[in-house]
Amino acid sequence: MIRIITDSTCEAPDALLHHPAVSVVPLSVVFGQTALRDGIDITREEFWRRLPTADPLPSTSQAIPADFLGLFEQYTAAGDEIVVVTLSAKLSGTYDSAINALNSLPAAPIDVIDSRTISVGLGLVLQEAVSMVDAGASRDEIVARLVRMREKVHLIFVLETLEYLQRGGRIGKAQAFVGTLLKFKPLLAVVDGEVVPVTRVRSRGKALETLQETLLQRVPQRGAQVRLGLTQAMAADEARAVGAKLAASFGTSQVFTAALGPVLGVHVGPSAIGAAAYSED
């Protein structure tokens, strides 16, 4: 059997995350001196209840090599092969932790891939990997496809504020927006694994429209082969509406919506909405 291991920043439908071939390694969110494992010690609902009153702002912690090594040893002992796909190495040390675990088992049938994305972008990558497992693809075929995907998954976020991203230290090139956003809503993208500024607009409604327009420009394909993922932080109705409009514009029914989790939530804050699109040429 081929096992797919991802991390808890991957946002995808529950059925996909609980697929028999899938395992999810948790990152942690740290309130004060207490580290809580995403999806194990703290739920998304509990996190979003706690965040508005948290002082200081919680921090996040990457997965550690032991988190991966235990699964590696368990699955390879059973004769399984493994494909690991993590959030961008430019946003977390989780990829390096998986590589360190792999170095303890140098001959094992394991590949580790930096997805160069996060959230529902990573969710689309996981969706492809599981689809290929179900279709009987080999490990080499799955790895080759996921590596090709990295250039074709486009992810854009609308934030209410850059405050959380700035305080969390993950602002990257979006630092260019700081100081100009008192009356603006920022749009950010993940490009080659890094957070980059897209544009800024004056209203939330216009920001969500611009998100859709930008995604349609960056993914020129149309039709049923286009796949979409939406994530949201306490903005479920808005996200569903954006997803429906994008699906109609792309001409596809392949769209899912997932709640945004604690590890990314620390950095983007409440009311964030993200959309990812992917299509083969």
pTM: 0.93
Q: How far is CA 167 from CA 87, 164, 183, in A?
A: 20, 5, 19
Do residues 269 and 192 share a domain?
Answer: yes
- The 3-state secondary structure of 219-253, one letter per residue: CCCCCCCCEEEEEECCCHHHHHHHHHHHHHHHCCC
Look at residues 129, 149, 169 and tell me which one is the last residue of a structural domain.
149
Task: Compute and round to an integer the Cα radius of gyration of the chain.
Answer: 18
**Total domains in the fold of the chain:** 2
- Inform me whether the pLDDT recorded for 183 exceeds 80: no
- Identify the band that residue 106 occupies on the pLDDT scale cut at 50, 70 and 90: confident
With a pLDDT cut of 70, the percent of the chain lying above it is 94
Res 179 pLDDT > 50? no
Choice among 71-85, 119-133, 176-190, 228-242 with the minimum mean pLDDT:
176-190
Is 122 domain-assigned?
yes
Task: Find the mean pLDDT for residues 33-37.
Answer: 94
Phi, psi for 216 (deg, rounded to 5):
-65, -35
CATH code, domain with 135? 3.40.50.10170
Question: Is 190 found in the same domain as 80?
Answer: no
Give the C-alpha separation, 107 to 189, whole Å: 37
Q: What is the maximum alpha-carbon separation in the chain?
A: 57
Instruction: Give the C-alpha separation, 17 to 107, whole Å.
Output: 28
Q: How far is CA 115 from CA 66, 90, 92, 145, 150, in A?
A: 21, 10, 12, 11, 6
% the chain with pLDDT above 90: 86
131/201 Cα distance (integer angstroms): 38
How does DSSP assign 129-168, residue by residue? HHHHHHTT--HHHHHHHHHHHTTTEEEEEE-S-SHHHHHT
CATH of residue 261's domain is: 3.30.1180.10
Give the domain range for residue 207.
153-278
Preceding omega of 109 cis (within 30 degrees of 0): no
* Same-domain status, 216 and 127: no
Which comes out higher in pLDDT, residue 210 or 54?
210
First-to-final CA distance of the chain: 29
Cα 238 from Cα 28, distance rounded (Å): 28
Same domain, yes or no: 87 and 206: no
Asked if residue 126 and residue 21 are part of one domain, the reply reads yes
pLDDT of residue 169: 55
Among the candidates 131, 149, 167, a domain finishes at 149
- CA–CA separation, 250 and 267 (whole Å): 29
Which helix (DSSP H) or strand (DSSP E) does residue 205 occupy?
helix 204-218
The answer to whether the beta carbons of residues 88 and 190 sit under 8 Å apart is yes
* Predicted pLDDT at 278: 98
**CA atoms of 267 and 195, how far apart (whole Å):** 11
Q: Which residues pair with 25 in a beta bridge?
A: 7
In which element (H, E) is residue 46 found? Answer: helix 44-50
- Whether residue 167 sits in one domain with residue 96: no
